[in-house]
Chain A
């Protein structure tokens, strides 16, 4: 689906990134805990979260996540919007709860992203 189609499906407002409305999204990851996002989400996915603070934007930036959907109609502060602009991350804002948001997107064919298995041949752990 494109971000434009996602916006319409979720009765969402495009807060940032209108120039990327044509961007194709295939996978999604829903979470409020950013550690889970850092552990499991994949680059290029759509992050769906109710965490409306700047860490969501920074987390998305760290992982090269395609766009963020802020659900539950949570208010976005200036710092959030400013950081999203600075880091170039499209933001959609929907009044729907996470359950409804993920439910609709799943119905339309998005799948959950799964982190790639990384080969562990050069890893070791030491205790100093």
Chain B
């Protein structure tokens, strides 16, 4: 199984908090920006790919037991969000690339047999 560390390296992501949890294994990915949808449809162990940066994303990720949040297209989580994430133990990784590229590459990493 793939870890956050692997993903971070392969996708050139910058970790903004909870580095100690990068050894976490990832079960799959979920992409979306509508919080009610993410709450309804994502699963534990997912990496959540989004452009949302307000602190509610930590509450959602915590509730759904996501492995981490990847924030894309250069969006910047504020200090409030990072502090909350640190408290909840949810790594937030940032990508300059847009969502399509990040998801595309993550998909390949998670399903190499279909590449």
Contact = CB atoms under 8 A, between A and B. Distances in A.
Contact between chain A and chain B defined by CB under 8 Å = yes
A17 interface: no
A32 B100 contact: no
Interface stretch (A79-87, A105-113, A120-128): A105-113
Contact of A30 (B37, B103, B105, B111): B103
A106 B31 contact: no
B105 to A, nearest CB: 7
A104 to B, nearest CB: 8
Contacts of A105: 100, 104
15 contacts: A30-B98, A30-B103, A32-B34, A36-B73, A51-B34, A72-B37, A99-B106, A102-B100, A103-B29, A105-B100, A105-B104, A106-B100, A106-B107, A107-B114, A110-B100
Interface of A: 28-33, 36, 40, 48, 50-51, 72, 97-100, 102-107, 110-114
Closest A-B pairs by Cβ, 8 of them: A106-B104, A103-B107, A112-B100, A32-B33, A102-B103, A112-B101, A98-B31, A112-B98
Classify chain B's interface size. Answer: 20 to 34
B73 A32 contact: no
Given A36-B73, A107-B115, A102 B98 contact: no
A17 B19 CA distance: 48
Contacts of A110: 100
Among A28, A104, A110, residue most surrounded by chain B Cβ atoms (within 10 Å): A28
A105 B52 CA distance: 23
A84 to B, nearest CB: 20
A111 B28 CA distance: 21
A36 B51 contact: yes
A100 B110 CA distance: 11
Contacts of B61: none
Contacts of B41: 72, 97
Among B73, B97, B111, B114, residue most surrounded by chain A Cβ atoms (within 10 Å): B73
B22 interface: no
B37 A50 contact: yes
B51 A31 contact: yes
Among B28, B34, B100, B101, residue most surrounded by chain A Cβ atoms (within 10 Å): B100
